[in-house]
Structure 1
Amino acid sequence: MEPKNINEPSSVSQPEQSLPIGCSPPDKDGGPNMSSMRRAALLLALLLGTATAASTQYAQPGYVQPTASASTAAADVAVSLNDWRRLRQSNGYAFQDYARFLITNPGWPGEIALRRAAEKNMVPGETPATVLAFFAATPPVSANGFARYADSLAASGRSVEALAAAREAWAGSKLSAWDEQNIFARYGAQFSAADHDRRVDRLLLENDSVNAARWLPYTSAVRRAAFTARLALLKRDPAAESLYTPVMAQVTTDAGLMMDRARYLQAAGYDAAARQLLARPHQFAALPVDTEKWYELLLANAKAALAARNYQQAFDIARQLDDAVPAGTDISLKSLGVRDDYTSLAWLAGETGLSLGRAAESVGIFDKYGKGGRSLQVSAKGAYWAGRAATQASQFAAATEHFSRAAAYPDLFYGQLALERLGRPVPVPTVQAALAVTPDQRTAFNQRRLVRAVRLLGGQGRRDEQGLFVRALSESLKTEADRVLATELAAQIGRQDLAVWTARSARNGGDSFYYRSAYPTLTFSDGRLWSITHGITRQESSFDRGAMSGVGARGMMQLMTGTAREQAGKLGIGYDDGRLTSDPSYNVMLGSAYFSRLLSNFGGSYPLAVAAYNAGTGNVRRWIAANGDPRRPGADVVRWIEDIPFSETRGYVQRVLENSVVYDQLNPYNRPAAPLHLSYYLGKSRPG
């Protein structure tokens, strides 16, 4: 994240004044600066409902005036809602504005973006107590953030922690010239050669040859020759090859040298040579300074090797994913970008290994995949495919162990397939146990500002904004008691989607919440389509009748108006645009009839019809042409789904089908027939 580029001390001697919450950003000349007394007076007037002039002057679009009858707590949340709307409109407010809001309202929608804006807009001289409070729960992510954190720690007498933060700033991305000068003046004597190695490593990664050359004399003697060669490679210096040759042997132990050599070869048009280099066995003593950038390089080149049909090379590039981090590193604790690239590499390596007949190696790679993410979906998928690889390698005891791990998640696509492999049924979601929620837990839950905001927005009829807070609330729930209370709240406020999001967020965080309350049902009389209609609705809208997508899809089954109008005509009923979001029965009638058409068009194939519901018929026909027809005898429909090029559609098909299997357990039209297995929906003749 790029910090403010401050080059002159005079430009930062006076930090930007923080505006009172509710005010517009200052004009270039500084704008109005409201005193704390005036701010207090304005807030009091807002709470009493008598500040008409003030609220008109400072109101932003979407502003809701707190009423005189509101309780103090509700009015306080109403003011915070106004702040939330204002701060989301621009990323140019002062740090103090963001910090004040975020410290008071953790977990509100858009928190990550607001924290990034806050950290970007920090300047030297920020109030230490505010900076320390801001970073108390979430550490800095940028060089600017670490620099301000170091300043505040030092001002608070925490010198050891200040030095550690300064070291992170020194090695951080896009450190400003002003911070570079001041950090070196203050901490340079305490920095080691390894600290300067990290800085030069970062500068070379960012193609900053000028500053890399400036700090080269401070680097360690053991790495200086490699840094010099990398600098020459970066600058396309005529002497690059002669400088690289003496350190060539280090290319398999120095990730930065391998990366810059690969980039140099690619820039010269030698893509195949770059891939050959990255496929070489390596064991890094000098790890990548940016793990995510390294994984991105590996992933791009492994995919290029696949495209060139060099499957062995793709496997060799992708499988060396653990060399980028210290031994024993738990990847699931890393950033989303690192986790995503790591699991992408593991999946590519595992799948390619299977096709190369290296199933025994793929077992461990798929196991790494399953442990590289935080969600239960990743865990179940990794365990299932490790089981398949173990079966292919005739490791049957290991296969049973892996399938058993996947089967622990009966509400998930791969958990359901694993249950079939083990010959076990999908259990019925249980009625939520009467968990002993204490009065103190209930009080604490209802006093949460997120809960108050959800209730307040519902009372104001602001359903779209309430939906954002419903999802944020679900993502903030950490205990079983809180999840039980959230499902109670869902019933109280008429938001079935809160119960669905509670279960979804639990599994995304690594916890199971397999309860009946997470599977709402509709009044729907078509027994043939009952389960699949519920499966689609749960994925499309989470049963939010008023859901509106960014592209205009509406209601429970997220119908586009053109599709809904056409389907109404085919059914011979009148079309009413407003009923798509006001009348769930009308929406579901049209949506289920439209899906029935798709199912017929694709010969009864649920995977193809579900994919078409999400991505369109034309895309599905193109994928059949490119990847084969999953309906043909002997086709591996599970692999076919994994080969869908749209990640959204790939996940959508799996989520809808797994939902449908659970709903088949609840389908009132199934009795006394047995519920259907996932293989039925997939069109598979063999279970699992």
Structure 2
Amino acid sequence: MVFRTCSHRAALALVLAGTALTGTLVASGVFAAGSEPLPVSDAAAPSRALSDTRTPDPVAADALKLEAKSAETPAAAAPASSLPVSAKAYASADPEAGIAFPLPDAAVSPVAPVPELPDPARAARIAPDIDVPALRQAIDAYRKGKVAEGDRLRDGFRDPAARALLEWVAIRAGAGIGFERTISFTRANPDWPAGPLLRRRAEEALLIERKGPAIVRAYFATSKPASAPGKFALALAFRADGLDADAAALVRDLWRSETFGRSLEGKVMDAFPGVLTRIDHRFRMERTLLKEDYETAGRAAAFAGGGYATLVRARRAVEDKSSSAPSALNAVPPSLRGDSSYILSRAQHLRRTDKYAEAAALLSVAPTNPEVLVDGDEWWVERRIVARKLVDLGDARTAYVVAGRHSARTVEKRIEAEFHAGWIALRFLDDSATAGRHFDAAAAIAETPISQARAAYWQGRAAEAEGRTDASKAAYERAALQPIAYYGQLARAKLGRTSLALRSIPELDAPAQVAFADRFSVRALRMLEAASLKDLALPLYIDAATKLTDPAELDALGNIAAEVRNARALVAIGKIAVQRGLPLDAHAYPTIGIPAYEASAAVPLVEKAMVFAIARQESQFDPLAQSSVGARGLMQMMPATAQRTARRVSAAFDQDRLTSDPAYNARLGQAHLGELMDDWRGSYILAFASYNAGGGNVKKWIDAYGDPRKAGVDPIDWVERIPFTETRNYVQRVMENLQIYRTRLDTKSALLIDGDLQRGAR
């Protein structure tokens, strides 16, 4: 049995399990008639499926070795980039919630941590019927690319769930498993978590093995390709069948939307000469320029000709803050100075040289057509920076124009843009009617708790400013429906509510629990946990959390993570569920992530709920977390800060213990929080901002925006005026975490967010 999934996500897998594709594949010679690929648990070897008679294309294979990013680093922990595409889709809806897969730097374990060896007693309790050493040995073989050895070890397992798990590991490792073996697995396990990765592996194999057009078109009969190799393979199949127009359209889409390297680029251009136009090359150049992929952009510019290479050089000089930026911009021919990348680069350079009015003037007349801009989200980022600085400079009118003329593309950025325009109109132009229209626009597309609560709260503020009491109260009521969101909590406080009322889910009944526990996917998770292979278990947890539709089953999934004390997985499951509108509030805020630690009397004691609130945001309770700047462990302590704090509390400093000893890290992190609370006279806002951005930046913000501890400075506005997006989001997330952890830890049940924002007031 497998995880139950949303019907639209399972459509492809169900078709693969049916007769339509099988019949086509048999007719095409992939499978012998009457010898369909057997489930992994029954097939002794992949040779049961006959291979396509075509020989693999060594050039295509070589290209894909360069283009396809492996989901696995051999003999090491899986990097964050290997996490499922499906989870990324949920993350993209509202990254402020902290659901970002790949996980942010601060939550990514080292690429090759010291392997955790399984405790035999623990392993026997979690998965009593599995040979853990043999399982780890087989997984290690696959991850090192030793397929034959892995297969031999896999065949020693009689448990079909173990065999399915090992086959997934082999496919995931990108070890050349092949098309037939990959789709055999998906047919036997149509709803196995990490389906998008399995699909990508199959699409890569279609191109590498040069499958015939009938096979390729049958595979894509019910869904579109999800990767560059898949699109290229289908385009070749269309052309082979005489569907030149379909092939050309797909090639243009591939060229404009996918990222791949020089080798596959050459294959595409050689296979489809004359299909790609200067417009296509220019679009690819613009898109990759905005992603700072200068090598790809440079090649696209060369294909486009006509001086486009000067745009690439100018953009790179500006992004790199090079002293050559002015001359690089001046070198762009006048005929190309109306190009969107030139306008954006010029505006960015003006802003970076403190010419904000000139940058704003340029952005105010810039094109807004999405086809011209290529990536409206990147344009919005520049507009946001300029608009916020103009507010600082006292020119809110121009700031509103810059923000209001956005062409943001994704829901996340559109909501952010509408919020900024509305906030500027309401708080700096005293135009509540205009502000309300922008907040209404944000509310109309908001899908996640954070976005819904923010839009509704500010709808309430705008209506309140207009004296529309009933409309204001109704908006606050809508925001209050999201008790785990910062603005939902503020709305509840506005309404006089004193608790959070976290939501709960009825458990599965006993028969359903037994059935759930018997699923191959669930048993595979237990095997990975028993083997202490959390890096492999995490993507399975994440993808399952995106697929399951029954809240009770999601709760059961979270219970597995809680049982094995995998707090990092529990946070991921809970966050994804909450973002999907499924009330897994308790799982999203686990209380198992921090071991007992010794508090020091040398610094002010901070409440335990605050330590949990910080650790959840900093590392998602990953004790091995290391950021790109060197912050370590649960509380993401910088070694220098940890060393200074250790001296303050008379503790021996050991840098290695920051990641090897979670209690040690929590002790120093709690002490450092106490130091910051002391430094800022008890202000939670300033302490949280300082923990993230440093005290020097916080002092600058106090100089610029006033002291939120003083009367006359609105703390809500002060937080919104923090110029660093990361820190602004951080303070809000930690503040909301704090309210929830007080409830979860039973230390304080009252909602205190209003008071927390005012702490330290003189």
CA contact (8 A) 1:544 1:555 kept: yes
Does 1:297 pair with 2:379? yes
1:213 & 1:405 partners in 2: Cα distance?
Answer: 54
Does 1:455 pair with 2:533? no
Q: Which residue of 2 aligns with 1:493?
A: 564
Q: CA deviation at 1:489?
A: 0.8
Q: Which residue of 1 aligns with 2:432?
A: 359
Q: CA deviation at 1:456?
A: 3.1
CA contact (8 A) 1:81 1:453 kept: no
Q: What TM-score, normalized by structure 1, do the two folds share?
A: 0.67
Q: Which residue of 2 aligns with 1:409?
A: 482
Does 1:78 pair with 2:166? yes
Q: Which residue of 2 aligns with 1:481?
A: 552
Q: CA deviation at 1:497?
A: 3.2
The 1:480–1:152 alpha-carbon spacing in structure 2 relative to 1, beyond 3 Å, is farther
The 1:156–1:408 alpha-carbon spacing in structure 2 relative to 1, beyond 3 Å, is farther
Q: Which residue of 1 aligns with 2:108?
A: none
The counterpart of 1:602, out of the listed 680, 702, 705, is: 680
Q: CA deviation at 1:51?
A: 9.8
Deviations 1:211-236 (A, max 9, x none): 7799xxxxxxxxxxxxxxxxxx9997
The counterpart of 1:316, out of the listed 401, 422, 447, is: 401
Q: CA deviation at 1:349?
A: 1.6
Q: Which residue of 2 aligns with 1:680?
A: 755
Q: CA deviation at 1:404?
A: 1.7
Please show how residues 255-654 of structure 1 align to structure 2 within 5 Å: 259=340, 262=343, 275-276=360-361, 279=364, 287-289=369-371, 293-297=375-379, 299-301=381-383, 303-304=385-386, 307=389, 309=393, 310-321=395-406, 338-354=410-426, 355-372=428-445, 374-430=447-503, 432-436=505-509, 439=512, 443=515, 447=519, 449=521, 451-467=522-538, 469-515=540-586, 518-520=589-591, 529-545=607-623, 547=625, 549=627, 553-574=631-652, 584-654=662-732
* Structure 1: gaps of 5 or more residues: 1-10, 26-45, 88-92, 189-194, 215-232, 242-256, 325-330, 332-337
Q: CA deviation at 1:606?
A: 1.0
Q: CA deviation at 1:356?
A: 1.7
Amino acid at match of 2:682: G
The root-mean-square deviation of aligned C-alpha atoms, in Å, is: 5.4
Deviates more, 1:133-142 or 1:94-103: 94-103
1:238 & 1:610 partners in 2: Cα distance?
Answer: 48
Deviates more, 1:494-503 or 1:405-414: 494-503
Q: Which residue of 1 aligns with 2:61?
A: 16
The 1:587–1:151 alpha-carbon spacing in structure 2 relative to 1, beyond 3 Å, is same
Amino acid at match of 1:495: N
Deviations 1:619-661 (A, max 9, x none): 3333333433221212122222223233333222222221211
1:267 & 1:411 partners in 2: Cα distance?
Answer: 37
Deviations 1:576-598 (A, max 9, x none): 66665566555433332321221
Deviates more, 1:498-507 or 1:456-465: 456-465
Deviations 1:238-267 (A, max 9, x none): 7899xxxxxxxxxxxxxxx89489569869
CA contact (8 A) 1:359 1:392 kept: yes
1:82 & 1:353 partners in 2: Cα distance?
Answer: 55
1:621 & 1:79 partners in 2: Cα distance?
Answer: 55
The 1:639–1:210 alpha-carbon spacing in structure 2 relative to 1, beyond 3 Å, is same
Deviates more, 1:108-117 or 1:511-520: 108-117
Q: CA deviation at 1:553?
A: 4.5
Deviations 1:53-75 (A, max 9, x none): 99899549xx9995745734314
The 1:459–1:321 alpha-carbon spacing in structure 2 relative to 1, beyond 3 Å, is same
CA contact (8 A) 1:66 1:78 kept: no
Q: CA deviation at 1:345?
A: 2.4
CA contact (8 A) 1:657 1:678 kept: yes
The 1:645–1:50 alpha-carbon spacing in structure 2 relative to 1, beyond 3 Å, is closer
Is the partner of 2:583 in helix, strand or coil? coil
Amino acid at match of 2:753: L
Q: CA deviation at 1:413?
A: 0.8
Amino acid at match of 1:500: V
CA contact (8 A) 2:418 2:442 kept: yes
Q: CA deviation at 1:417?
A: 0.3
1:595 & 1:83 partners in 2: Cα distance?
Answer: 45
Q: CA deviation at 1:23?
A: 13
Q: CA deviation at 1:681?
A: 1.4
Amino acid at match of 1:369: A
Deviates more, 1:571-580 or 1:529-538: 571-580
Amino acid at match of 2:554: R
2:757 & 2:418 partners in 1: Cα distance?
Answer: 25
CA contact (8 A) 2:570 2:587 kept: no
Is the partner of 1:424 in helix, strand or coil? coil
Amino acid at match of 2:451: V
The 1:619–1:59 alpha-carbon spacing in structure 2 relative to 1, beyond 3 Å, is farther
CA contact (8 A) 2:589 2:740 kept: no
Q: CA deviation at 1:481?
A: 2.9
Aligned length: 586
Please show how residues 233-252 of structure 1 align to structure 2 within 5 Å: none
Q: Which residue of 1 aligns with 2:27?
A: none
Amino acid at match of 1:507: V
1:531 & 1:396 partners in 2: Cα distance?
Answer: 35
CA contact (8 A) 1:471 1:501 kept: yes
1:298 & 1:289 partners in 2: Cα distance?
Answer: 15
The 1:652–1:236 alpha-carbon spacing in structure 2 relative to 1, beyond 3 Å, is closer
CA contact (8 A) 1:234 1:260 kept: no
The 1:469–1:418 alpha-carbon spacing in structure 2 relative to 1, beyond 3 Å, is same
Deviates more, 1:161-170 or 1:76-85: 161-170
1:158 & 1:393 partners in 2: Cα distance?
Answer: 60
Deviations 1:297-342 (A, max 9, x none): 35525643654554323322332346x8xxxxxx7xxxxxx33432
Deviations 1:73-107 (A, max 9, x none): 314423533553457xxxxx899699779968988
CA contact (8 A) 2:460 2:471 kept: yes
1:600 & 1:626 partners in 2: Cα distance?
Answer: 22
Amino acid at match of 1:678: I
Does 1:149 pair with 2:234? yes
Amino acid at match of 1:365: H
1:94 & 1:554 partners in 2: Cα distance?
Answer: 37
The 1:537–1:299 alpha-carbon spacing in structure 2 relative to 1, beyond 3 Å, is closer
Q: CA deviation at 1:343?
A: 3.2
The 1:584–1:131 alpha-carbon spacing in structure 2 relative to 1, beyond 3 Å, is farther
Is the partner of 1:289 in helix, strand or coil? helix
